[in-house]
Structure 1
Amino acid sequence: MPKLKMPASLPDPIINENAKIVLQRRYQRKDTEGNVYETTKELFWRVAAAIAEEEGKYKESTYKPAKLAREFYDLMTSYSFLPNSPTLMNAGTNLGQLAACFVLPVEDTIEGIFDAVKHAAMIHKSGGGTGFSFSRLRPKDSVVGSTGGVASGPLSFLKIFNCATEQIKQGGTRRGANMGILRVDHPDIMEFIKAKERDGELNNFNLSIGLTERFMQAVEKKEDYDLIAPHNNEVVGQLNAREVFNILVNKAWESGDPGIVFLDRINRDNPTPKMGEMESTNPCGEQPLLPYEACNLGSINLGKCYLKGKNGHDSEIDWEELKRIVHLAVRFLDNVIDASIYPLPQITETVEKNRKIGLGVMGWADLLYQLKVPYNSQTAVDMGERVMKFVRDEARSASKQLAGERGAFPTYVDSIFGEANLGPYRNATTTTIAPTGTLSIIAGCSSGVEPLFALSFVRNVMDNDKLIETNPFFEAALKEADAHSAKLMEEIAKVGTIRKMDHLPAELRHVFVTAMDIEPIWHLKMQAAFQKFTDNAVSKTVNLPNEATKEEIWDIYWKAYEYGCKGVTVYRDGSKISQVLCTGDDEKKKKEKEDDTGCVVQDRPDVIYGFTQKIGTGLGELFLTVNEMDGKPFEVFATIGKSGGSITAKAEAIGRLVSLALRSGVEVREIVKQLKGIGGENPKFMKKKLVKSIPDAIAYVFESRYLQGEHVDSEGASLNKEMCPDCGDVLVFEEGCHICKSCGHTKCG
């Protein structure tokens, strides 16, 4: 624990209900029984004091540790800045691992591969995420000289990494997350591109294809390009670049996997090229790193940098406040480097040489709302460039100041800054736009540089209780326009957007846009605007409606290349079975059509909510997704086992037939009657309930959720009712990751 004592006069932080849940579940310290014993005030003081104590190492510092600790505490509890999750979790504890992300090398030897597996496990245990390039591994069926055997290829080892991750629970709070990258000129590239075609495969990995300038030029010219075996640099084949690019587009249209990163562009911005080439990024792609490098991240809440106009003056950004926050945040993050206990000596050595930090932003949509600037406008894009240029320039200025007090980062002389006489700087990089899923919940602000996912939505707070959550700036604008009412808020919560509510003032509908209201090009332009002045990269999702075409995704990928992005994540609404919150417009128009039997079957609407429940069966884990309309089940997707197996086929068939019955008006109780009790060859007890078969499991879910008091067994306890495995609420896809807005659960670790 920190040596600095908490001042008696320290004020309690003000926290919202969502933040209270997130902090208790993920950040506040617990005893061996899992009981929270740390208050919110103690949490923030623990972090502030532990990081400020590092200041005592530097005699030339302009701060005393006690004074700096109070400033750090105020900075965090005003929610103007928050560090990455491992810092909030582990600062001032025995674990002491404060970095969010790492990249590990995967060498082309059995020893090197399994060293990487072991090192990844150590990192995951300490609370970090890992990125790997598998591009050094020789292709499948290559001869292994030392044994005369045949290589199994990158994908076979990728599966080993995935299995190892499955067994590690990060520090009791975070599930391991990984990025796997393969160069587009690797001979096994086609197998890698198709690696996640089967649902559930490589579930602990995000995959990206490393595209090169040569490849992109070949795409443009419709030429073939060489496939090169990395172990001997021999050309072993060719593929048509345009055809490969089209396949990447098709996969993005189908599911969003794999993503793409532009390797040559990433390495052009490598500040320390003499230390090696950047091969991979962290799990969400915004932090390219050298092997054994780590980065400490933090985010400024831009929503707190709004300066309301007085005496007839226009409102604007509070540049002085933003400057103050940036300088204090850079000092905080540089101290984090010193305070962190890294899981490997190689990481400690590399981090101390380059001292990379990644200061980013959140609350961008909130700031635009306050300024009454539409996200999908050139004004907003220009403002994004201006804001990020200011943040980067001030971050570098703060880094120079620290270099004066503490010295430059050790590899400065050989860096691009040293060779150009631009420094000295304390940090090789200073800016990154990282995902802020849980941080934005704590701060009560919008995520990263994303538009708001919904202006208002229903949050599950108890088993059957629901609470309408509304963006505060939107609610204030409604009241100012004398348009607020409880009934209106309920209507908005059903769809999340006001784009088609013509009875509301046009200015409101113009300014308060959401992710799915915005044409894809504006997502991309905003990403490019922030990337222009970001040292590392930008975590951002280009949201697309379900009806988006492959041609549109092709255009986005190409424009991402032209606009100077370092990568791009595309997500087409409803493209994954597991998605349960689909945005767009839902006017609850039940279009109907007759099938060949004359039965009336409802069309699937544009907007539909649902949940996914995991049920243990004798045949494996069954994932049952049930989407609802008006609180009633509308369609079912049953997934179990690997694609192509007979069990999977049977589960899918049952799901389709149940969906057809539901859309044809068959009552839930009738479906339960038909499915309940059907026996199978491998019954299994789960939570005191005997699950006899897949249809029996579906009946159990329906009975538990929809027929309470009518057909529920006395021992039929309810399972997780929604997609989030922690709290049962819906997951949202933004910043390249699934995030629960209620409890902060994220699939990205």
Structure 2
Amino acid sequence: MPVEEKPVVPQTYTQDQAYDASLKYFKGDDLAARVWVNKYALKDSQGNIYELTPDDMHRRIAGEIARVEKKYPNPMSEDEVFELIKNFKYIVPQGSPMAGIGNPYQVGSLSNCFVIGNDGNSDSYGGIMKIDQEQVQLMKRRGGVGHDLSHIRPKSSAVNNSALTSTGIVPFMERYSNSTREVAQDGRRGALMLSVSINHPDAEDFIDAKMEQGKVTGANVSVRIDDEFMNAVKNNGSYTQKYPVFSKEPKFQKDIEADKLWKKIVHNAWKSAEPGILFWDTVINESVPDCYADLGYKTVSTNPCGEIPLCPYDSCRLLAINLYSYVEDPFTDKAQFNFELFKKHIGAAQRIMDDIIDLELEKIDNILAKIDADPENEEIKAVEKNLWLNIRQKAYEGRRTGIGITAEGDMLAGLGIRYGSKEGIDFSVDIHKTIALAAYRASVDTAKERGAFSIFESDREKDNPFILRLKEADEKLYYDMLEYGRRNIALLTIAPTGTTSLMTQTTSGIEPVFLPVYKRRRKVNPNDKNARVDFVDEVGDSWEEYVVFHHRFKEWMRAKGHDTDKNYSQEELDKLVKLSPYYQATSNDVDWLSKVKMQGAVQKWIDHSISVTINLPNDVDEELVGKLYLEAWEAGCKGVTVYRDGSRSGVLISNEEKKEEEAETTGGNFPLKRPEVLTADVVRFQNNKDKWIAFIGLVDGRPYEIFTGFADDEEGILIPRWVNEGYIIKARNEDGTSRYDFQYENKRGYKTTIEGLSHKFNPEFWNYAKLISSTLRHGMSIDNVVDLINSLQLDSESINTWKNGVVRALKRFIADGTVAKKEKCTNCNSSNLIYQEGCLTCKDCGSSKCG
């Protein structure tokens, strides 16, 4: 009798096993190990982990790429692909491709970016709701989504329904934002970009929408600005807004002062880092896919971080080249860049990207099969099914790819070139020109073997500025493209590489190093004989302070013979940095105008766009922001994001509300009249085995009031453990007395209100809370408030316990003696955040979010 084979049960690992093995793989880099295990290790919905280290993941990806390669002539083997992607050294599939390729446990897309929209620019309620449904369906498959609102008629326009007039754009911004917040993607929220043309009569309302507290918090917003508007700004002229936008026969139009609206954009960006700006004529004129606009490839919006402008229902997959790995003998006099190996690997990367499109088409077929198998009514499934059919058609026709880079800052440092210098800009331009020529050459060579993308017509592209630059740089490439076509409609980008750069252990994307060395604090048990206690805080907690070196800065130290294990003083660290190629080359050091010029120069060799952030100190004025925007337009940038340190923190209020507050402010800036609604942080902690909760109301990211008491018991406040933020609302009881309510959003997006914080807490706690809140409202610094509370002589043991709790809650807002930014990591609650490439990234856990 034949022996019956037992089914092979795949090996599974515990979280600790995967973490320990990955920690060894990343040579002790805790952050890289945790990011990989949490985000990219293959796991099922029950949390079973099937990969021990990134080597297993890279084998999985290489096997799938090799399977596709076998369909075509001259295939790469699995080992060849593995050698290119292993150790995150050369070629790094980003995000969705890394997590999804060869993943049998997840029915999802491999695309990182999508744009959706309505054919015929429909602004009916049906059309608007269809977009809402499509957005949610994409986000549940892990994609970031963008769409444009310029087709929605302006407010007060006539409509043929019971409302009689349109509500305009802003209510729909809020609808789409709320939908984004409802959708969880493997523990993270969706990402959304909303855009509108400056030509739309509601553009100013759009620009102001996020300045009102708690509004449109689930979306990034960008304004599509045309050259006519920019020229009107430069010449202090007027500008005509129309609906439909740019119509020769508009239903509505109005003339505005361009400079006045421009100053509103600049002010809001200075105040809150939004709106972003898209220089739309540059986007369209430079776009190769827009040569096929009449075939459905007219660009209408971008993905959430702005680096991929897309037509409706097109998508893109991302991959990064690790530039640092091509620097031979880094940080020495022999350092040089290996251009030959670089060009060879770009060709392989473009081929791999084309293979990933085939894998994406398989993934979409799996999604469609799942939709068909779902027991829901066909009418309910129709929107989702048609969405994916449209996306499949665009992916099949255009075969769009998104090759980008990471480690630009480390590459320059390794070569001894200062980021932001003329030499640095010139070398970066050479790098990106090389990428463009090598990637387009690979796409032409792939077209010889596999065929061109199905709608390719060389005549359509003959006047495109980007294609003409390729022709000028490499005529043979251009004429081969005329003869054989090209495999992909567009190829290049510079996308955010937050978690990617953590695993490559390099600087992120095109950005400079954020800091080459910085300090972290770690809480320790003072009874542990091996613990080093550097200081004890006011509530008795012991802390160790330790230095964190940027990985490649540490490599520079070794190359120059410096001890990497020594416990350096701050003075010694400053001297080290001054000796290194990272000196005056951090994100806060680089000359802002130089960075804009660099972005414009590099943009000439990227057919999509660039996600990059201009970081500014808190004390810059609005005029500088406007100057940078104008320079970006003139330099040829397609978009620009400016982030002033601390500008995303706190309550954002409208100009009218701000004027009212300023009018009622006395004694300089304090005390502020209390707004009716404050954003609030929720802080939980334990004192003497009692559970406590604090509600900290904030103004501009600064504590304005604090309510603290027992939590999770019969006398306290019970709210879900996952709630860490919300709003404190000043309300009135029926007898006219005031009360303070706490409101938060549940996981379905509905608001839940807990009435009367003052009645939930012990009256003695409440009275002291009012006293402490008064000192906060009058502008006393947080550290001084903490000192004041600690100095209070209180008899009751419970009130002393409460006092310690207030101190612990407020100390979260002190960072090195200053007030910390309000924004905290939604994953680990850390305030150690940086803003790069349009994304907020946590330096403690690696979590990142756009917007």
What TM-score do you get using the length of structure 1 for normalisation? Answer: 0.80
Alignment match, 2:401:
357
Which of 179, 191, 196 is the matching residue for 2:210? 196
Residues in 2 aligned to 1:539 and 1:506: alpha-carbon distance in whole angstroms? 29
Which has the larger displacement, 379-388 or 77-86? 77-86
> Does 1:298 find its partner at 2:314?
no
CA distance, structure 2, for counterparts of residue 674 and residue 394 of structure 1? 76
Q: CA deviation at 1:177?
A: 0.4
Answer yes or no: is the 8 Å Cα contact 2:417–2:581 preserved in 1: no
Looking at structure 1, the residues matched to 162 and 71 of structure 2 have their Cα atoms a distance apart, in angstroms, of 52
Q: 2:129 aligns with which of 83, 108, 114?
A: 114
2:177 equivalent in structure 1: 162
SS at match of 2:615: strand
Q: For residue 103 of structure 1, what is the aligned residue in structure 2?
A: 115
Instruction: Confirm or deny: 8 A CA contact 1:616 1:622 kept in the other structure.
Output: no
Q: 1:677 to 1:111 in 2, by over 3 A?
A: farther
1:380 paired with 2:391, answer no
2:826 to 725, 739, 744: 725
* 1:229 matched residue in structure 2: 243
Retained in 2: the 8 A contact 1:523–1:541?
Answer: no
**Residue among 7, 14, 30 paired with 2:25:** 14
1:542 partner SS = strand
Residue matched to 1:532:
604
1:470 maps to what in 2?
549
2:200: which partner in 1? 186
Q: Look up the equivalent residue of 2:286 and give its one-letter code.
A: D
- Code of the aligned partner of 1:18: L
Question: For residues 725 and 380 of structure 1, do their structure 2 counterparts lie closer, same or farther at Cα, with a shift above 3 Å needed?
Answer: same
Q: Contact 1:30–1:37 (CA<8 Å) still a contact in 2?
A: yes
Instruction: Indicate yes or no: 2:283 matched with 1:266.
Output: yes
* Equivalent runs, 1:584-623 vs 2, <5 Å: 614-615=682-683
Gap change, CA 1:354 and 1:704, over 3 Å in 2: closer
Residues 122 and 640 from structure 1, CA distance in 2 versus in 1: closer, same or farther, beyond 3 angstroms?
Answer: closer
Deviation at 1:578, TM superposition (A): 5.8
Which of residues 338, 346, 351 in structure 2 aligns to 1:318?
Answer: 338
SS in 2 for 1:194: helix
Alignment of 1:543-692 (within 5 A): 543-577=615-649, 614-615=682-683, 640-641=726-727, 655-656=776-777, 659-660=780-781, 662-663=783-784, 666-670=787-791
Find the counterpart in structure 2 of residue 713 from structure 1: none
Of the three residues 438, 459, 477, the one matched with 1:394 is 438
- Residue in 1 that maps onto 2:471: none
CA distance in structure 2 between the aligned counterparts of 1:674 and 1:204, rounded to whole angstroms = 47
Alignment of 1:249-288 (within 5 A): 249-273=266-290, 274=293, 275-288=296-309
Identity over aligned pairs, percent: 28
Bigger mean CA offset, 113-122 vs 484-493: 484-493
Deviation at 1:655, TM superposition (A): 4.7
Q: Which residue of structure 1 aligns with residue 510 of structure 2?
A: 449
- Misfit runs of 4+, over 4 Å: 418-421, 459-467, 479-490, 503-507, 509-512, 620-628, 634-640, 642-655, 670-678, 695-700, 702-706
Note closer, same or farther for the CA distance 1:347–1:69 as it changes in structure 2 (3 Å cut). Answer: farther
For residue 121 of structure 1, report the CA deviation from its aligned partner.
Answer: 0.8
1:21 to 1:626, Cα distance in 2 relative to 1, 3 A: farther
Q: 1:667 to 1:697 in 2, by over 3 A?
A: closer
Structure 1's 380 and 148: CA in aligned 2 closer, same or farther, altered over 3 A?
A: same
| Pair 1:24–1:415, CA change in 2 (3 A) | farther
Q: Is the 8 A contact 1:272 1:414 kept in 2?
A: no
Question: 1:294 and 1:642, CA in 2 relative to 1: closer, same or farther beyond 3 A?
Answer: farther
Q: Offset of 1:182 from its aligned partner?
A: 0.7
Q: Distance in 2 between matches of 1:84 and 1:700?
A: 39
1:504 CA drift (Å): 5.1
Distance 1:299-1:309 versus aligned 2 partners, 3 A rule: closer
Report the Cα offset of residue 200 of structure 1.
3.4
- 1:153, distance to aligned residue in structure 2 (A): 1.3
Contact residue 641 and residue 647 of structure 1 kept, 8 A: no
- Alpha carbons of structure 1 residues 672 and 525: separation in structure 2 relative to 1, 3 Å: farther
Q: 1:415, CA displacement in angstroms?
A: 7.1
Does structure 2 conserve the Cα–Cα contact (< 8 Å) formed by 1:128 and 1:176? yes
Letter in 1 for 2:787: V
Q: Distance in 1 between matches of 2:221 and 2:389?
A: 27
Equivalent in the alignment of 2:528: none
SS at match of 2:405: strand
Matched length: 665
Which deviates the most, 269-278 or 115-124?
269-278
- Measured in 2, the distance between the counterparts of 1:520 and 1:535 equals 24
Contact 1:474-1:512 within 8 A present in 2 as well: no
Change (3 A) 1:44 1:656: farther
Answering whether residue 332 of structure 2 is matched by residue 332 of structure 1, we say: no
Residues in 1 aligned to 2:239 and 2:700: alpha-carbon distance in whole angstroms: 45
Q: Unaligned stretches of 5+ in structure 2?
A: 1-7, 12-20, 368-387, 468-478, 525-542, 652-665, 669-679, 686-692, 707-724, 732-738, 743-769, 815-821
Q: CA RMSD of the aligned region, Å?
A: 4.0
**Alpha-carbon distance in structure 1 between the residues aligned to 2:545 and 2:103:** 36
For 1:596 and 1:235, the matched residues in 2 are separated by 47
Quote the Cα distance in structure 2 between the aligned partners of 1:227 and 1:163: 28
CA distance in 2, matches of 1:207, 1:156: 14
Q: 1:705 to 1:450 in 2, by over 3 A?
A: closer
Over residues 156-196 of structure 1, what are the superposed CA-to-partner deviations in whole Å (9 max), with x where a residue is unaligned? 111111111111112x2432000010100111111111111
Cα shift readout 1:430-464 (whole Å, capped 9, x = no counterpart): 11000000100111111001011111123567786
Instruction: State how far apart, in whole Å, the 2-side matches of 1:239 and 1:359 are.
Output: 41
Mapped partners of 1:374, 1:704: distance in 2: 36
CA separation of 1:168/1:508 partners in 2, compared to 1, >3 Å: closer, same or farther?
same
**Which sits farther off after the overlay, 199-208 or 504-513?**
504-513
Residues 42 and 50, structure 2, Cα contact 8 Å, conserved in 1 = yes
Q: Aligned partners of 2:425, 2:49: CA distance in 1, in Å?
A: 43
1:430-441 alignment, distance < 5 Å: 430-441=491-502
- The C-alpha deviation readout for 1:50-91, integer Å capped at 9, x for no partner, is 233222332x2x115xx1455245424243121120111111
Post-superposition CA distance 1:318-365 (Å, at most 9, x none): 112211221121111111111112461111101211111110111011
The structure number with the bigger radius of gyration is 2
Unaligned runs of 5+ in 1: 580-594, 598-611, 629-633, 679-688, 707-720
| 1:429 CA displacement | 1.0
Aligned match for 2:43, one of 2, 18, 30: 30
- CA distance in structure 1 between the aligned counterparts of 2:299 and 2:773, rounded to whole angstroms: 42
State whether residues 215 and 241 of structure 1, in contact with CA within 8 Å, keep that contact through their aligned partners in structure 2.
yes
Give the aligned residue type for 1:112.
G
User: Any idea what the Cα deviations from partners look like across 1:24-61, whole Å, max 9, x if unmatched?
Assistant: 11111334443434222322222222233222332x2x
Change (3 A) 1:518 1:616: same
What residue is the counterpart of 2:60 in the other structure? 46
Aligned to 1:214: 228
